[in-house]
Amino acid sequence: MPVNHSRRLHYYKTLVFAFLMAVAGWHCEPIVTTFDDIEEAEHYQAADVPTILPITPDTLLVMTWNIKYGGGDIDFWWACYDDRVLMAEDEVLDNLERVAEYINRADPDILLLQEVAVDSKQAAYVDQMQYLLDHTDLDYGVYASMWRVQNAPSDGLGRTDLGPAILSRWPLENAERISLPLRTDQDPLTTYFYLRRCILKASVPQLDNLYVVNVHTAAWQAETRVKHIDQFKGELDAIDDAGGLFVAGGDLNTLPPGSQVISDFRDTKCGEGDFEGGDYSGEEDWLDDLYADYDTALPLEEYQSADDQEPYFTYGDKPDSLGFTRKLDYLFTNRTDGWVPGSDSTHQDIATPGTTLSDHCPVSVRMELP
Amino acid sequence: MTVVRGRRRSHHIALVCSLLMLASASMASDNASWSSGTAYTLPSGRWEKGLFQPLRYGQTGRLEWATHPVLNLVVPNLRIKVAHREFKGWSLATRHGFHYPTPLLRLVKRPGIGGLISPESDIPEIPHILAARSELLATRTLSQSVWLTGKGGVSVALKTGEIDERTTIDLPLVFPRMALFLHGYQLNLGADLLTNLPGRWSIWTDVDLLMIPGAEESFSWEHKGLVIWSRSERFQVLVGYKLVCGAYPDYPKARTQWHLLPLIDLQWARQRKAKS
């Protein structure tokens, strides 16, 4: 082969290789996104942000809410009442409009959300994070994905990106996504495509670097859930040990100590299988340490001494017709006597026939700032 | 903004790929090649089959049949290529084919693992769909071992009912082809460049553009680069990549996405002996 021909061939191969590497590095995303133990969370802000930040108040209304990716009263397949999987765009937008209206009525200063879809076929690809920032008075947000796959090859789920979020009236900083352990009872392929739950942590400089910590623990495997709760407690302990002040909470997927009903819920319809989650036997003391070390929005004594605990329940498989059947959602703080007495609220009014906004209802409480 | 940026990228990549095709043309040497991606039909009695490429058979010097045998179980398909007279140095052929994707779509509309389409009762049953494509191919020999092929065509899909928009599988290569079922029509344009290199090597590059004028997810631009090693006239190995840039469903409007996929194939060929 002539020398110049060989050189040209070499140049050509180099060009092709460089081109492929450049394209691969520039554009390609993995089929499944895996996460480091700690990563920076994603920052959002409303399309129109006021030039002057709201003044720092004396008290702060904090709320947590699992919004079921804007699913409203749709019966999804995992609750076993129907077989719905994918929402149409108008369904998502209608539900989100009502969620935003409710948030505006409740008027929280800090909002912890779970199951926010930002790029999911299930939710017609509506970026719910951006939608809620643009349609509420909360202008700043951080988001951490707990499930980001190009295509979840099961039940027609398709592209999925959803997870917890924190919305705030003031800018958030030091936002971290902290990975939680994966489920251990699935085959490797299913585990690879499955949820990668996390803790979302951020601080609010405007509020003297108040930490906000949001978690959504495993719903279906108890052995994993207790690890998530322990790690969540560990994160709170670390903030507390460092002298920081926090509000924390989310969907812990387990019951408070002293719950009168811990299994055989009237709304459980799924049989044995992946979505079997209606039995909390053996979990009675899993939140003892959290309750012992920190103040909860709903005082434990009030909950345990109630003849009827139902007004405190935050979750139901079918709340519009069967009501809420258990308490899974919590707010904690390490500020002693930090909650304004009697300010806690369990917003069960989000579920009325025809206008149910989620299978979880929000929990809110007012906090006194130092 | 995303779409605008995507178009700019598309222009950049298209430019680079065009340069690659020109570069491969400059590397041409004399070597025999198989007849993939050209207007040429297989010689009478010759068949070629790849792991992923279709089984092709030359019935006469001017008529070639092609089908994916395994896919036929779930997507019955057939394609013919008919060679025509040369026109001003261009070899011309038309290619006509159909496929019936309904069985496969119904197969993957299922609960649990393997469900690529939601099985929910809110989404209607997949209707019967018959998709057909006709295209014109024109090949010109640029030098002793370089062949340039241009192609353009139109596809139509006949359906016995409407398809719910949620029925799509939003994956590269798949979604652009399913978009035909949604909208009922699609145009395609493309070019292939086949270049023989010294020894047993050759390069096959192509660009294809699938378009649905008027649709929100209106285009998919695909580029393929394959290095081919031919052990003989009866066996070759193809290794390369496929770069896809397309518009996919999103809110509030379609989003441009890029994907780079590996390609590998093994191809066998045989020549049926002529009857004495």
pLDDT tens readout for residues A105-119: 999 999 999 999 999
Average pLDDT over residues A285-298: 96
- A3-27 vs B2-26: helix crossing angle, rounded to 10: 160
- Confidence tier at B145 by pLDDT (50, 70, 90): confident
Q: How far is A84 from chain B (nearest CA, A)?
A: 5
pLDDT per position as a tens digit, B69-78: 999 999 999 9
Rounded average pLDDT over A320-335: 96
The residue of chain B nearest to residue A1, with distances taken between CA atoms, is B198
Look up the domain containing A27 and give its range: 1-31
Do B133 and B99 contact (CB within 8 A), yes or no? no
pLDDT, tens digit (0-9, with 9 covering 90-100), for A208-233: 999 999 999 999 888 999 999 999 99
Q: Residue B264 forms beta bridges with which residues?
A: B239
Task: Give the relative orientation of helices A89-106 and A128-135 as an angle to the nearest 10 degrees.
Answer: 40
Q: How far apart are the first and last CA of chain B?
A: 67
In a shared domain, residues A264 and A282: yes
* pLDDT reported for residue A143: 98
Go through chain A and tell me how many residues it has: 370
Confidence of residue B272 (pLDDT cuts 50, 70, 90): confident
B258 and A28 within 8 Å at the Cβ level: the answer is yes
Q: What mean pLDDT is predicted for residues A17-45?
A: 78
**B contact test, residue of A5, A11, A13, A16 with most B CBs within 10 A:** A16
Average pLDDT score, chain A: 92
* Distance between CA atoms of residues A37 and A176, nearest Å: 10
- Please tell me the distance from the alpha carbon of residue A368 to that of residue A255, in angstroms, as a whole number: 27
B15 has a chain A CB within 8 A of its CB: no
A27 closest CB neighbour out of B109, B113, B258: B258
**C-alpha gyration radius of chain B:** 20
Q: Look at residue B227 and tell me whether its pLDDT is greater than 50.
A: yes
Kindly indicate the confidence band of residue B192, based on its pLDDT and cuts at 50, 70 and 90. Answer: very high
Residue B77 Cα distances to B131, B160, B266, angstroms: 9, 18, 21
- Residues of chain A with C-beta less than 8 angstroms from the C-beta of B258: 23, 26-28
User: Which two three-digit tokens encode residue B83?
Assistant: 């060679």
Looking at residue A105, its pLDDT comes to: 97
Tens digits of residue pLDDT in A54-68: 889 999 999 999 999
Locate tokens 């209607």: which residue? B124
Q: Measured between CB atoms, which of B16, B170, B241 is closest to A121? A: B170
Residues A289 and A204 in one domain: yes
Confidence at residue B15, expressed as pLDDT on a 0 to 100 scale? 37
Taking the CA of residue A113 and the nearest CA in chain B, the distance in Å comes to: 21
CA-closest candidate to residue A41, choices A188, A145, A133, A115: A145
pLDDT, residue B144, reads 87
Domain total for chain A?
A: 2
Considering the domain architecture, whether residues A20 and A79 belong to the same structural domain is answered as no
Joined together, the tokens standing for residue A123 give 């939710």
pLDDT at A277 over 70: no
Chain A positions touching B124 (Cβ under 8 A) are none
Nearest to B250 among A1, A125, A190 (CB): A125
Chain A partners of B171 at a C-beta cutoff of 8 Å?
A: 150-151
Which residues in chain A have Cβ-Cβ distances shorter than 8 Å to B225? 16
**Unique residue bearing structure tokens 């707990």:** A146
Residues A203 and A323 in one domain: yes
Whether A96 and A218 map to the same domain: the answer is yes
Confidence at residue B23, expressed as pLDDT on a 0 to 100 scale: 34
Confidence of residue A31 (pLDDT cuts 50, 70, 90): confident
% of chain A beyond a pLDDT of 70: 91
Q: Which residue of A has its CA nearest to B199?
A: A1
Using a CB–CB cut-off of 8 Å, the residues of A that contact B are 1, 5, 8-9, 12, 15-16, 19-20, 23-24, 26-28, 77, 82-86, 88-89, 119, 121, 124-127, 150-151, 153-159, 190
Return the pLDDT at A93. 98
Task: Answer yes or no: is pLDDT of B163 > 60.
Answer: yes
Write the DSSP string, A67-128: -GGG-TT--BGGGTS--B----HHHHHHHHHHHHHHHHHH--SEEEEEEEESS-GGGTT--H
In whole angstroms, how large is the CA radius of gyration of chain A?
Answer: 22
Q: Both A46 and A27 in a single domain? A: no
Q: Who among A28, A82, A156 is closest to B115 (CB)?
A: A156
Residue B200, chain A, CB below 8 Å: the answer is no
pLDDT of the residue at B3: 30
What amino acid is encoded at A306 in this protein? A
- A2 and A141 part of one domain: no
Q: Which pLDDT belongs to residue B25?
A: 33
On the question of a cis peptide bond just before residue B252, with omega within 30 degrees of 0, the verdict is yes
CA distance A20 to B225: 10
Q: What is the mean pLDDT of residues A152-167?
A: 96
Tell me if B258 sits within 8 A of B244, measured CB to CB: yes
Structure tokens at A204: 């609010």
Residue A238 has pLDDT above 80, yes or no: yes
For residue A80 the two structure tokens come to 């076993």
Q: Mark yes or no for CB contact A124/B225 under 8 Å.
A: no
Gap between the Cα atoms of A273 and B115, Å rounded: 18
A247/A59 Cα distance (integer angstroms): 13
Q: Within an 8 Å CB–CB cutoff, is residue B174 touching chain A?
A: no
Residue count of chain B = 276
pLDDT reported for residue B4: 32
**Claim to verify: residue A82 and residue A214 sit in the same structural domain:** yes
* φ, ψ at A225 (rounded to 5°): -60, -40
Residues 6+ apart with CB under 8 A from B153: B95, B133, B134, B135, B136, B187, B188
Asked whether the beta carbons of A150 and A121 are under 8 A apart, the reply is: no
Q: What is the pLDDT of residues A21-30, one digit of tens each?
A: 555 555 567 8
How close is the nearest chain B Cα to the Cα of A225, in Å?
23
Q: Is B85 exposed, middle or buried (0-12, 13-18, 19+ CB in 10 A)?
A: exposed
Do A153 and B26 make contact, defined as CB atoms within 8 angstroms?
no
Calculate ∠ Cα B165-B167-B170, nearest 5°: 90
Q: Residue B218: pLDDT band by 50, 70, 90 thresholds?
A: confident
Does A1 score more than 80 pLDDT? no
pLDDT tier at B52 (50, 70, 90 boundaries)?
confident
**pLDDT value of residue A13:** 56
Q: State whether A152 and A7 are in the same domain.
A: no
- For A189, counting Cβ atoms within 10 Å of its Cβ (0-12 exposed, 13-18 middle, 19+ buried), the class is exposed
Query: Percent of chain A beyond pLDDT 90?
Result: 80
Give the lowest-confidence range in A153-157, A236-240, B124-128, B214-218: B214-218
Gap from B110 CA to chain A (nearest CA, Å): 6
The answer to whether residues A17 and A134 belong to one domain is: no
* Smallest Cα distance from A300 to chain B, Å: 40
pLDDT band at B24 (very low <50, low <70, confident <90, very high): very low
pLDDT of res. B259: 92
Give the confidence band of B30 by pLDDT, cuts at 50, 70, 90. very low
* Residues 50-89, chain B, touching A (beta carbon < 8 A): none
Subunit contact B113:A83, Cβ cutoff 8 A: no
Three-state secondary structure of B76-111: CEEEEEEECCCECCEEEEEEEEEECCHHHHHHHECC
Buried b (16+ CB within 10 A) or exposed e, A6-36: eeeeeebeeebeebeeebeeebeeeebeeee
Q: What is the pTM for the complete model shown?
A: 0.86
Assess whether A152 and A196 both reside in one domain. yes
Q: Report ipTM (2 d.p.).
A: 0.84
Q: Distances from the Cα of B137 to the Cαs of A289, B67, B94, B95, B211, in angstroms?
A: 73, 18, 6, 7, 18
Q: Calculate the dihedral angle through the C-alpha atoms of B103, B108, B114, B117, rounding to the nearest 10 degrees.
A: 170
Q: Do both A9 and A149 map to the same domain?
A: no
Domains of chain B, with CATH numbers? 6-271 (2.40.160)
Alpha-carbon span A165 to A100, nearest angstrom: 15
